[in-house]
């Protein structure tokens, strides 16, 4: 199945499908996912790797980015919380802006949770990859900049949350300006007669 996302950018997307040893490939038909990926608009490359985060896997990504002049990559592997920084760095080394990297989590969201439903897990992996490619094609290159941080904060609202946040920030050595629209602080809490469970007066 193919779909036209109607986009005019991100036309050279590479999809890298990871086996994670057998963590993914025991349940998800990774070759079928790679084949399916080639039918997604914008995808010009797809391949399967045993351990994509290992150095040989990353080297393959770098080589293919250069060789096929990819302008986006999608890594179908594990949670981005684990290896998104790895693949961003990998893309950067190959000259691709690291913000043009997208991941599809076909391990935690497919193989690990659908171990007895191989066909359905593969269908879901296809869906996740198709959505990741669609997202990837919308990505824009970003520049990282550094700016000086002034250790001063503005807290808006002098209710309980605002007061506590101000106290915590002050305890951390940060100057705080607390702004409250009414003439007293305390917010809704100040209007209560008693509070559970101590039945103390809140003010
Ligand atoms: S990239 Fe993630 S899914 Fe692939 S081998 Fe490494 S840990 Fe496993």
Ligand 1 mean position to 46 CA, how many Å? 16
What is the CA(74)–ligand 1 centre distance, in A?
13
| 192 band by pLDDT with thresholds 50, 70 and 90 | confident
Helices (H), 38-101: 55-67, 80-93
**Band (2; pLDDT cuts 50, 70, 90):** very low
7 in a domain, yes or no? no
Q: In the listed set 120, 138, 156, which residue is the last one of a domain according to the structure? A: 138
48 close to ligand 1 (CB < 6 Angstrom): no
Same domain, 151 and 132: no
CATH number at residue 84: 3.40.50
> Are residue 129 and residue 187 in the same domain, yes or no?
no
pLDDT digits (tens, 9 = 90+) for 89-137: 999 999 999 999 999 999 999 999 999 999 999 999 999 999 999 999 9
pLDDT above 80 for 203: no
> Which residue puts its alpha carbon closest to atom 8 of ligand 1?
20
CA dist 179 and 61 (Å) reads 51
106 shares its domain with 175: no
- Same domain for 123 and 165, yes or no, is no
Pairing of the two strands 13-18 and 101-105: unpaired
- Count other C-beta atoms under 10 Å from residue 120's C-beta: 12
Distance 52 CA to ligand 1 centre (A): 6
Helix (H) or strand (E) holding 175: strand 175-179
Ligand 1: does its nearest atom lie under 6 Å from the Cβ of 90?
no
pTM: 0.76
pLDDT of 10 strictly over 60: no
Q: Show the domain range for 153.
A: 146-203
Q: Which of 78, 81, 89 to mutate for ligand 1's pocket (most ligand atoms within 8 Å of CB)?
A: 78
Pick the residue whose CA is nearest to atom 1 on ligand 1: 53
Summarize pLDDT for 129-172 with one digit per residue, the tens.
Answer: 999 999 999 999 999 999 998 999 999 999 999 999 999 999 99
Domain count for the chain, please give it. Answer: 2
Q: Is the model's pLDDT at 3 over the cut of 60?
A: no
Residues 154 and 131 in one domain: no
């Amino acid at each position: 199945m193919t779909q036209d996302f109607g986009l005019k950018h991100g036309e050279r997307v590479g999809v890298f499908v990871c086996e994670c040893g057998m963590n993914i490939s025991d349940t998800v038909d990774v070759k079928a996912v790679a084949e399916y990926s080639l039918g997604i608009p914008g995808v010009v490359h797809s391949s399967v790797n045993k351990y994509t985060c290992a150095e040989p896997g990353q080297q393959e990504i770098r080589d293919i980015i250069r060789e096929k002049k990819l302008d986006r990559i999608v890594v179908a592997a594990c949670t981005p919380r684990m290896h998104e920084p790895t693949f961003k760095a990998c893309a950067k080394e190959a000259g691709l802006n690291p913000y043009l990297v997208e991941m599809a989590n076909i391990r935690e969201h497919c193989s690990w949770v659908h171990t007895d439903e191989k066909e359905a897990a593969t269908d879901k992996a296809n869906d996740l990859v198709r959505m990741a490619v669609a997202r990837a094609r919308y990505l824009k290159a970003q520049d990282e900049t550094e700016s000086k941080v002034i250790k001063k904060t503005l807290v808006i609202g002098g209710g309980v949350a605002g007061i506590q946040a101000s106290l915590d920030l002050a305890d951390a050595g940060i100057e705080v300006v607390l702004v409250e629209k009414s003439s007293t602080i305390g917010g809704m809490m100040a209007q209560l007669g008693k509070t559970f469970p101590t039945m103390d007066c809140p003010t």
